[in-house]
Amino acid sequence: MEFFTEVSERIAYEGAESDNPLAFRWYDADRVVAGRRMEDHLRFAVCYWHSFAWDGLDIFGAGTLDRPWHPTFAATADPMAAAKQKMEAAFEFFEKLGVPFYCFHDRDIAPEGEKFAESAAHLDEMIELAAGHQQRTGVQLLWGTANLFSNARFQAGAATNPDPEVFAYAAGQVAHCLEATHRLGGQNYVLWGGREGYETLLNTDMKREVDQLARFMSMVVEHKHRIGFTGAILIEPKPFEPTKHQYDYDVAAVHAFLQKYGLADEIKVNIEVNHATLAGHDFAHEIATAVNAGIFGSIDANAGDDRLGWDVDRFPVSVEQMTLGMLEILRGGGLTTGGLNFDSKLRRQSIDRTDLFYAHIGGMDTMARALLAASSIIETGDLDALRQARYAGWSGELGTSIMADATLADLHSRAMTTGEPNRVSGHQEMLENLVAKHIERTR
Ligand code: XLS
Ligand code: NI
Ligand code: NI
C-alpha cells in the first residue's frame, strides 16, 4: 500500500532558485563540501516517534493528523498489524525523502504487550521486518532507544525509581532494545533520561537516585561490550520536562556525572537544540562544551520557540543558529557515528501527510545551508585568525611561563613593577557581520 501518494518520486535537489515546494534548494547529497559529500557530513535521520507514532494528540485534545497507519485510525484493531502498516509508511517516507538514517524507541515500532516477554516478542518480530525494510531500501539505523517514560510503571523514573523492581524492569528493557539495535546495525544507542529526575525534594533522596543512575549506565556499558555492540552509547541531556528537574541537565552536568562515576570514556552525548535552549544555553555552546570534553556524539536537530518555555520540537528554521552550531561541529572534526536526527514535530494543524515532506525538506535545507556557511567561514579562516590573534600573548614569554611554572608570588612581584594591561576590542559586532556575510554568500 502506498501512503504518500502526492509524492511519487524521490525528492530531488533543484537549486536555490527552484520554486518547487517538494524539492531541495540547498541539500545536494552528492555535492562535496570540505572534502566530504553533503550526505556524509549531515547524516540525516528521520525520527519514528514524532513523524509516525504521533497523531497530533496534545494535553487539550485528540489527534488531528491524517495518519491512517496510526492505531487510533488504522482499519485494523490488531496492534501488530497496525505496527506493520506504520513501518511500511515510515520506510516509504524515508526512501522518498532520501535520508540515509532513521531512529526509534522500542515502543514506536512495536506495541507493548501484557507482560514483558510479550513486549519483547513484539519487538523481535518488528525487528525482523525492519531488517528487511533496511535491506530493501538501504536506509540504516542511526540509533535505537528504549521508551522508559510512557508507561505508568515509570511514573517515578526508571533507573532512579525508589523501587528496585522498576529498575530491574527497565534494565531488562534496555538489554533487549540494545540487542535489537545491535541486530539492526545501529550506529549508536541513546539514553534520554525520560523521568530520571524529581518533582519534589520532599520525597526524593537525590544522592541515592544519582548513584542508581550511574549503576544503570555502568550496566548498559558492560552489556554493550558483552554483546559486541561497537556503536556509541549516548546520553541526551535535558534540564526539565517531564520532571521538574532532570539529572542529565545539560552537557556540563552529564560530563561531571560521567567523570565522577568513571564513565567518561564510554559514554558521549546526543545534544538536542531545544534542550540546549531550555537549559539556558545556545545550541553552539552545548556542542563546544561536548567537543572540549571529548564527549560529542550526535545531534537531535529541532528548534524551540523564543516565547515558549517547553520542548516544542519545531523543525529547524534558523540558518544563523544552525550555522553557529555547524561551526562548532566542524571545528570538532565533524560527525562520526552520530548524525542529525529530526527530533522535530509538525504543528498540530499541519494535518496532511505531505506536510511531513515540507517539514523535513525545510529542516534539511536549513542544515545544508548552515553547513555551507560554516565551512566557508572555516575555509576563509578570517574568524579563526582573529580568534587566534586574541590569544597571541599566551604564546609569548609571560603566557608560557604562567602555564608552565610561574607562582602566584612570581606574578605578585611582577605586578609591582609593571603598568596597566593594554585593552583591545573584542569586535563582536564585526564578527557577527562576518558570519552574516558568509550566510548571504552561500551558493
Ligand atoms: C524528549 C527527547 C526524546 C529523545 C528520545 O524530549 O528529545 O525524544 O530524543 O527518547
Ligand atoms: Ni531528543
Ligand atoms: Ni526533546
Tens digit of pLDDT for each residue in 281-295?
Answer: 999 999 999 999 999
Among candidate residues 328, 350, 380, the one where a domain is terminated: 380
pLDDT at 29 (0 to 100): 98
Residues recorded for the chain: 443
CATH of the domain at 314: 3.20.20.150
The residue among 360, 380, 400 that closes a domain is 380
* Beta bridge partners of residue 299, listed in sequence order: 271, 340
186 CA to centre of ligand 3 in angstroms: 20
**Cα 335 to middle of ligand 3, angstroms:** 20
* 46, 47, 48, 49: residue to mutate for ligand 1 pocket, most atoms within 8 A of CB: 49
Q: Which residues lie below 8 Å from residue 292, measured CB to CB, with a gap of 6+? A: none
Task: Render the burial of 50-86: b for 16+ CB within 10 Å, e for the rest.
Answer: bbbbbbbeeeeeebbbbbebbbeebeeeeeeebbbbb
Q: Which residues of the chain have pLDDT under 70?
A: 74-75
Q: Which residue in 364, 249, 238 sits closest to 301, CA to CA?
A: 364
* Shared-domain flag, residues 315 and 416: no
Q: Is residue 252 part of a domain?
A: yes
Q: What is the pLDDT of residue 294?
A: 98
Q: Whose CA is nearest to atom 2 of ligand 1?
A: 192
> Nearest Cα to 40, choosing from 340, 291, 266, 242?
340
Whether residue 137 lies inside any domain: the answer is yes
The domain in which residue 426 lies consists of 385-440
Residues 151, 118, single domain; the answer is yes
Is the separation of the CB atoms in 46 and 93 below 8 Å?
A: yes
- Residue 12 domain flag: no
Do 411 and 322 lie in a common domain? no
Residue 343 Cβ inside 6 Å of ligand 1? The answer reads: yes
Q: How far apart are CA 260 and CA 34, in angstroms?
A: 37
C-alpha span between 203 and 440 (Å, rounded) = 54
Count, in order, helices (H) and strands (E) of the chain.
Answer: 16, 14
Q: Which atom belonging to ligand 1 lies closest to the Cα atom of 149?
A: 10
Cβ(196) – ligand 1 distance below 6 Å = no
Check whether residue 187 and residue 291 sit in a common domain.
yes
Which residue, of 380, 397, 420, is where some domain finishes? Answer: 380
Asked whether residue 238 falls in the same domain as residue 100, the answer is yes
> How far is the first Cα of the chain from the last one, in angstroms, to the nearest whole number?
39
| Residue 149: all three cell numbers together | 517514560
Q: Answer whether residue 218 is part of any domain.
A: yes
93 in Cβ contact with 346 (< 8 Å): no
| 108: annotated active-site residue | yes
Residue 13 lies in a domain: no
Domains identified in the chain, total number = 2
| 11 located within any domain | no
50 CA: nearest ligand 1 atom: 8
- Classify 22 as helix, strand or coil: coil
Residue 260 Cα to ligand 2 midpoint, Å, equals 24
One domain for residues 334 and 351: yes
Ligand nearest to the CA of 271: 2
Residue with CA closest to ligand 1 atom 4: 192
Q: Within this chain, do residues 399 and 346 fall inside the same structural domain, yes or no?
A: no
Give the H or E element holding residue 60. none
**Contact, 98 vs 10, CB < 8 A?**
yes
**Judgement on whether residues 431 and 284 belong to the same structural domain of the protein:** no
* Predicted pLDDT at 77: 79
Backbone angles phi, psi at 223, to 5 degrees: -70, -35
In this prediction, residue 70 carries a pLDDT of 85
| Owner of C-alpha cell 566557508 | 376
Residue 17 lies in a domain: no
Q: Tell how far the Cα of 66 is from the centroid of ligand 2, in angstroms.
A: 23
What is the model's pLDDT at position 213? 99
Q: Are residues 276 and 411 in the same domain?
A: no
Residues 254 and 351 both lie in one domain: yes
Give dist(CA 397, CA 434) in Å, integer.
32
Residue of 41, 50, 70, 105 marked catalytic: 105
pLDDT at 71: 74
